[in-house]
Amino acid sequence: MRNALAILGCLFAVSCGKVPIYGVNAFFTLADGSWFAEEQTLFVFYELSAEQGLGDPSVIEITYATDEERVPWTPVSDFDPVHTHIPVDCGVNRLCGSVSISVPLEPRDFDIRLRYHRDGELALEAEAVLNIVGPGAPHTNRSLVVYGVFEGSNQQVQWRGRHQFPTLRNQQVDRLGLRRDFLIRGQRFGTADTSSPTNPYGYGVDCPDFFVDAGLPEVGTDERAVFDADPLPLGASEASAVCADATVFDATGSFSAVALARKNPEVRGAFPVLRSPVHEASPIQFFFGPCDRVISAEHEAMQRQRLLAEGVPTYCIDDWASPDFVDTLVVDLRDAVEARRPLGEDMVLVVGINQDEPGAAVAIERALAQVVPGERERSTPRLAGAFVFDSTPRGLSLPELAPVTLWCPATLDLSEIPDASVRSCPTLPDIPDLELGPFSFGFLPILPSREQYLDFIDTYSTAQAGRVDTARFLTPEFAATSDHVDLGEFGVVTFLNGESISAGSDDAFSYCVQDQPAPFFFRSELLRNDGFGIVFQEACQAGVVPPQLCAFAGAGLLPIELLPMWHEQFGERNYELGLFWEFPFLLQAEYEAVVAGAATAFGVTVPFGVADPQEAFLGSEIWENDSFALDPTLTQCTRFCDHPTFDSAGVYNVTDPFRSTYAQGCYLPRFPVPGDPGFPIDP
Amino acid sequence: MILSAAIALFVGQAQAQEQPEESDSTEATDPLAPHRVKFDVLAERAIGTASKPVEFNWRRTTVQLAATGSFLSELNNFNSLRGGGMVRFPTGGMLIEVEGSYAAAWDTPASNLLALTPYRQPGRPNRMELDFTVAYPLAEGVVTTAPRFFPAVQMVFNAYASFRYILYPTGFRGLRPGEVARAILSPNLSQDEIDNLDGNRLNSMQVDLGRYGLMLGLGNDVYFKQGLFLSPRILVAVPVLAPATQTDLLIWTDLSLAIGVAL
């Protein structure tokens, strides 16, 4: 009780007093004046904040002096403004706005202050900034520049005003309440560019006399943008620009100057879609194994099931060590291919090897190396490649087989980047079974080695080892005119059927990087010129060319991302388009994987499992589709390529022409459309 | 009448107890002498047994309705008055009160002058207030009135403890339902509410952040025989919740009067 009283006593002692008074802590964040000699107008912009307490009673006052008058502190609302200034709500505890005053002579001693209350005497003076803009050209010495832009189809003009103040941005001036009237009359079209690096909007520059009257009515607005009521006549299709007389108003009356609207770059997909038929290849099945003995019947049955080759006779390899084994096998393989070729279908060798002597697999590999690689670049019907399911994990010993053969299971050398021949079905490290009391759970890859398989069925059962249901070998159809450029270990570029991009010398290309690298290359007359190849290789050796390009130095082609740069430099008229691929076919297998379990009690093991349908893609997934889109990747500008561009936010970038800006960038413009609000994004 | 008879009875008892000490002869002739008690002793015994209401038994009423008005002395430069209605429920020898009021604030000459300066003082704009009060009777009895032609009344002297919740309906403008729910439970006003109330504050006022507070006080309930009652009271804000509410109005008073009827 005594403590409670003591606490209450202290509380009351601290609290006993009048309610405190706090300062509003007001401060100016903007207090700028700009006087334009050409317009005889003083523009004043202000913005201030306070922690609290600003409201209607607070007023902004300004003062200035000229050689002929001294204006005492006067509330901004007492001036007769030259332009429209709308009231602006800048938020709670903020005051902002603007005013334009007719001041014929250059002002000095300019200042701005906040009077806390219109009836009070206390005020907060700002550190005001005054900019004097003397006489000069309209595009640099006036407060408003007028220009035009086109909507997406280049048929209708939107005329825009752009505030131009020394310390303020265009949209900031909007926010501070200034509205400017402008009128557009006498629109005429033709082909000429009156802009310049110092006058990118081309404002105030007369247009050539040969421009043709567009016959469009007068338009005007007090916002920042207005669309023409009608589109341009059809005769203006080839014209690159529209000129008009733009009238703006100031303290001296009105002022007219020529405003320029330039068409947007005409851009299209350079080669929207490249199509090439992809067909299912016909499998030619071989199953190699010893005929004099049985290594493992369960394993052989599993291999045959995986290859869907249950009825295929065993090709005996007991004499694999004999000198003529390889030659005989080569003949048999070729005979099988030639026997199937008249059917007109592409083919894939599907090979199972049931062996426990590595030398047998090596011999088969040597035979395949004499048959398969040579077929790779033939036109359809051809032997696209080989799929080998061996008994033990190993890598290919003959590098010429790597581009055309899937060898499973494969050992994976993590010290180097694996090629498609082994990375599709590497041998995974042994994952120990999950043991939970009497239960154990395990999983078998669909293409296991013999050791993996036998270990698995020792614990579980063959029923839980999974099964392959379907296997499709997809491979592209190569026309008789297909041309292949071998890039060695990287893969092949195939010019499928004479696909090419036509271009004018003034055209410009844009390459847009996508999530997936574009599998396209191009070549041109110059690139195929042997003399140029020699120069290119010399440039590589001299280190002039980036090393990544030198990989293609001798091939006479370049990645598609270099096309914009190439065309800019050499301006060729035609570019052949080739498709890059790494592996000649895609094995699409649907199979049933099983999460296997076993329960062991009193010496009895009961297997069980949960089947899960799965799909695997081995080889090159590029052959999953038979069309390859270039549209978002490569675009081509055919007209007005040096005109300014819109970006994806709808901002008109007057100093960013298509040609130089988007060679290596994504051109995703958002054009204005009739009906848009009158205040476009224009920072 | 009953009271007179009781006093006579006790007087008789007192006399009966005192007689034997004065005279043995009287004791022998007065059989009531052992029961007689002196009057001052009887009066002393009667104190505390006659405290039950006799003019109006407010404890037996179901509900009491009243109109209320109060003047707030907030120790700042603004004036504030409240007006509203109250419902009271007698229960367990106490009164539970629920009151809704509209509180208006206006300028004084001092606050008008303050508005001319770059300084502001915490205060509360026009608002609604909800009070939840417990009244505990400390003393009561029948009292006479002046002028004398008024009848005697039942007077109850109460101690009050009140929880006052301040509601600014315009403060929730533009807030989503979830934000409103959070604001209602928050002990202080959010920045959004402060912004919304900026147009409601007086020129020299800084909106006080506190949303609720605790008040203690004393007052009388004066019941007339017909059930009409008056309830003047004085409440004092106790700043025990100030650390949570962040209010700058710590100690201030509320002088109020309720006029109503007990049913």
Q: Does the pLDDT of residue A43 top 90, yes or no? A: yes
Cβ A19–B194 below 8 Å, yes or no?
no
Q: Does the pLDDT of residue B16 top 60, yes or no? A: no
- Summarize pLDDT for A469-525 with one digit per residue, the tens: 888 999 988 888 888 887 776 778 888 888 889 999 889 999 988 877 778 889 888
- In this complex, which of A11, A55, A120 lies closest to B117 when CB atoms are compared? A120
Nearest to A518 by CA among A649, A629, A399: A629
3 state SS of A646: strand
Residue B3 at interface with chain A, using a CB cutoff of 8 Å: no
Residue type, A110: F
B93 neighbors B53 (Cβ within 8 angstroms): no
- Summarize pLDDT for A528-583 with one digit per residue, the tens: 887 877 887 788 788 777 665 666 666 788 888 888 888 888 888 999 998 888 88
Greater confidence, B55 or A64? A64
Residue B174 at interface with chain A, using a CB cutoff of 8 Å: no
B224 neighbors B231 (Cβ within 8 angstroms): no
Q: Which residue in chain B has the smallest CA separation from A21?
A: B121
Nearest to A183 by CA among A141, A226, A213: A226
Q: Which residue in chain A has the smallest CA separation from B74?
A: A19
Across the range B69-89, mean pLDDT stands at: 95
* Calpha distance B44→B38 (Å, rounded): 10
Question: So what's the pLDDT on residue B5?
Answer: 40
**Quick one: angle between helices A297-307 and A450-459, nearest 10?**
110
- My answer on whether B66 and B131 are in the same domain is yes
Question: So what's the pLDDT on residue A549?
Answer: 62
Q: Does the pLDDT of residue A414 top 70, yes or no? A: no
Whether B197 is covered by a domain: the verdict is yes
Across the range A128-140, mean pLDDT stands at: 93
| Count: domains in chain B | 2
Cβ A92–B242 below 8 Å, yes or no?
no
Residues of B in contact with A17 (CB under 8 A): 75, 250
- My answer on whether B37 and B131 are in the same domain is no
Whether B52 is covered by a domain: the verdict is no
Cβ B250–A93 below 8 Å, yes or no?
no
Whether B50 is covered by a domain: the verdict is no
Whole-angstrom CA distances from B224 to B58, B87, B136, B261 are 10, 18, 19, 9
Lowest mean pLDDT across A192-201, A534-543, B189-198: A534-543
The DSSP call for residue A675 is T
Residues of A in contact with B251 (CB under 8 A): 12, 15-16
Residues of B in contact with A26 (CB under 8 A): 118
Question: So what's the pLDDT on residue B4?
Answer: 42
- My answer on whether B184 and B99 are in the same domain is yes
- My answer on whether B171 and B225 are in the same domain is yes
Whether B75 is covered by a domain: the verdict is yes
Residue B240 at interface with chain A, using a CB cutoff of 8 Å: yes
Q: Which residue in chain A has the smallest CA separation from B119?
A: A23
- My answer on whether B207 and B252 are in the same domain is yes
User: B191: domain range?
Assistant: 58-262
- Which residues, 6+ apart, have CB-to-CB distance to A178 below 8 Å? A43, A45, A83, A84, A85, A98, A100, A163
Across the range A200-207, mean pLDDT stands at: 92
Radius of gyration, CA atoms only, chain A: 40
Cβ A19–B239 below 8 Å, yes or no?
no
* Calpha distance A349→A406 (Å, rounded): 10
Cβ B116–A122 below 8 Å, yes or no?
yes
- Which residues, 6+ apart, have CB-to-CB distance to A333 below 8 Å? A286, A349, A367, A368, A371
- My answer on whether B36 and B112 are in the same domain is no
- My answer on whether B121 and B189 are in the same domain is yes
Across the range B227-252, mean pLDDT stands at: 92
Q: At residue A312, what are phi and psi to the nearest 5 degrees?
A: -80, 130
Residue B251 at interface with chain A, using a CB cutoff of 8 Å: yes
Q: In which residue are the tokens 């804000």 written? A: B237
Return the percentage of chain B with pLDDT > 90, whole number: 57
3 state SS of A440: strand
The length of chain A in residues reads 683
Residues of A in contact with B242 (CB under 8 A): 15
Residue B118 at interface with chain A, using a CB cutoff of 8 Å: yes
Beta bridge partners of B232: B257
A213 neighbors A244 (Cβ within 8 angstroms): no
A18 to chain B, closest Cα gap in Å: 5
Query: Domain of B218: which CATH number?
Result: 2.40.160.20
- In this complex, which of B195, B204, B239 lies closest to A15 when CB atoms are compared? B239
* Segments of A340-466 assigned E as strands: 347-353, 383-389, 405-408, 434-436, 439-443
B201 to chain A, closest Cα gap in Å: 9
Return the percentage of chain A with pLDDT > 90, whole number: 44
Nearest to A388 by CA among A405, A401, A370: A405
Q: Which residue in chain B has the smallest CA separation from A16?
A: B251
Give the tokens for residue A72: 């005492």
Nearest to A566 by CA among A501, A493, A655: A501
Query: How many other CB atoms sit within 10 Å of the CB of residue A25?
Result: 13
- My answer on whether B140 and B21 are in the same domain is no
- In this complex, which of A19, A26, A53 lies closest to B75 when CB atoms are compared? A19
Across the range A120-128, mean pLDDT stands at: 91
- Summarize pLDDT for A227-251 with one digit per residue, the tens: 999 999 998 999 999 999 999 999 9
Residues of A in contact with B250 (CB under 8 A): 15-17
- In this complex, which of B123, B195, B238 lies closest to A92 when CB atoms are compared? B195
A152 neighbors A73 (Cβ within 8 angstroms): no
The DSSP call for residue B222 is E
* Calpha distance A170→A164 (Å, rounded): 6
B42 to chain A, closest Cα gap in Å: 37
Greater confidence, B30 or A78? A78
Q: Does the pLDDT of residue A431 top 70, yes or no? A: no
Give the tokens for residue A406: 């899937």
B36 neighbors B13 (Cβ within 8 angstroms): yes
- Summarize pLDDT for A256-296 with one digit per residue, the tens: 999 999 999 999 988 888 887 888 999 999 999 999 888 89
Give the tokens for residue A638: 């055919």
Beta-carbon pairs below 8 A across chains A and B? 73
Question: So what's the pLDDT on residue A398?
Answer: 82
Q: Does the pLDDT of residue A40 top 70, yes or no? A: yes
- In this complex, which of A16, A26, A53 lies closest to B206 when CB atoms are compared? A53
Q: Which residue in chain A has the smallest CA separation from B194?
A: A92
Q: Does the pLDDT of residue A395 top 90, yes or no? A: no
Q: Which of A5, A15, A16, A19 to mutate to test the interface with B (most CBs of B within 10 A)?
A: A19
The chain-wide mean pLDDT, for chain A, equals 86
A653 neighbors A645 (Cβ within 8 angstroms): yes
Whether B134 is covered by a domain: the verdict is yes
Q: Does the pLDDT of residue A103 top 50, yes or no? A: yes
- Which residues, 6+ apart, have CB-to-CB distance to A43 below 8 Å? A33, A34, A35, A36, A98, A99, A100, A143, A165, A178
Residue B76 at interface with chain A, using a CB cutoff of 8 Å: yes
Tell me the pairing of strands A84-85 and A178-179. Answer: antiparallel
A510 neighbors A568 (Cβ within 8 angstroms): no
Cβ B115–A57 below 8 Å, yes or no?
yes
- My answer on whether B131 and B171 are in the same domain is yes
Greater confidence, B103 or A664? B103
Residues of A in contact with B240 (CB under 8 A): 11
User: ipTM more than 0.85?
Assistant: no
Q: Which of B75, B114, B197, B251 to mutate to test the interface with A (most CBs of A within 10 A)?
A: B251
- In this complex, which of B206, B239, B248 lies closest to A52 when CB atoms are compared? B206
* Calpha distance A345→A420 (Å, rounded): 23
Residue B122 at interface with chain A, using a CB cutoff of 8 Å: yes
Residues of A in contact with B199 (CB under 8 A): 55
Whole-angstrom CA distances from A81 to A101, A102, A137, A183, A224 are 5, 7, 24, 20, 19
- In this complex, which of B195, B240, B249 lies closest to A19 when CB atoms are compared? B249
Question: So what's the pLDDT on residue B9?
Answer: 41
Residues of A in contact with B115 (CB under 8 A): 57, 117, 120
- Summarize pLDDT for A652-675 with one digit per residue, the tens: 999 999 998 988 889 999 999 998
Q: Does the pLDDT of residue B7 top 50, yes or no? A: no
Give residue A12's pLDDT band: very low, low, confident or very high (50, 70, 90).
Answer: low
Whether B51 is covered by a domain: the verdict is no
Instruction: Give the dihedral of Cα atoms B223, B227, B232, B234; nearest 10 deg.
Output: 90
Residue B189 at interface with chain A, using a CB cutoff of 8 Å: no
Residue-wise burial string across A146-177, b where 16 or more C-beta atoms lie within 10 A, e elsewhere: bbbbbbeebbbbbbbbbbbbeebebbbbbbbb
* Calpha distance B89→B91 (Å, rounded): 6
A476 neighbors A276 (Cβ within 8 angstroms): yes
Residue B250 at interface with chain A, using a CB cutoff of 8 Å: yes
3 state SS of A215: coil
* Calpha distance B97→B136 (Å, rounded): 11
Residue type, A641: C
Residues of A in contact with B161 (CB under 8 A): none
- My answer on whether B161 and B96 are in the same domain is yes
Q: Which of B74, B78, B80, B116 to mutate to test the interface with A (most CBs of A within 10 A)?
A: B116
Question: So what's the pLDDT on residue B26?
Answer: 54
- My answer on whether B108 and B131 are in the same domain is yes
Across the range A426-430, mean pLDDT stands at: 55
Question: So what's the pLDDT on residue A1?
Answer: 56
The secondary structure of A64-118 as a DSSP string is: EE-SS-EEEEEEGGGS--SSEE------TTEEEEEEEEE--S--EEEEEEEESST
Whether B49 is covered by a domain: the verdict is no
Q: Which residue in chain B has the smallest CA separation from A57?
A: B203
Give residue A309's pLDDT band: very low, low, confident or very high (50, 70, 90).
Answer: confident
A408 neighbors A447 (Cβ within 8 angstroms): yes
3 state SS of A415: coil
Cβ B118–A26 below 8 Å, yes or no?
yes
- My answer on whether B140 and B33 are in the same domain is no
Cβ B118–A53 below 8 Å, yes or no?
yes
Tell me the pairing of strands A59-65 and A108-115. Answer: antiparallel
Whether B53 is covered by a domain: the verdict is no
Residues of A in contact with B204 (CB under 8 A): 53
3 state SS of A632: coil
* Calpha distance A451→A338 (Å, rounded): 36
Cβ B203–A23 below 8 Å, yes or no?
no
- In this complex, which of B116, B248, B251 lies closest to A16 when CB atoms are compared? B251
Q: At residue A73, what are phi and psi to the nearest 5 degrees?
A: -55, 120
Question: So what's the pLDDT on residue A434?
Answer: 67
- Summarize pLDDT for B202-220 with one digit per residue, the tens: 999 999 999 999 999 999 9
Percent helix, percent strand, percent coil in chain B, to nearest 5? 30, 45, 30
Q: Does the pLDDT of residue A599 top 70, yes or no? A: no
* Calpha distance B18→B12 (Å, rounded): 10
Question: So what's the pLDDT on residue B17?
Answer: 45
Cβ A11–B76 below 8 Å, yes or no?
no
3 state SS of B13: helix
Give residue B10's pLDDT band: very low, low, confident or very high (50, 70, 90).
Answer: very low
Q: In which residue are the tokens 């900031």 written? A: A172
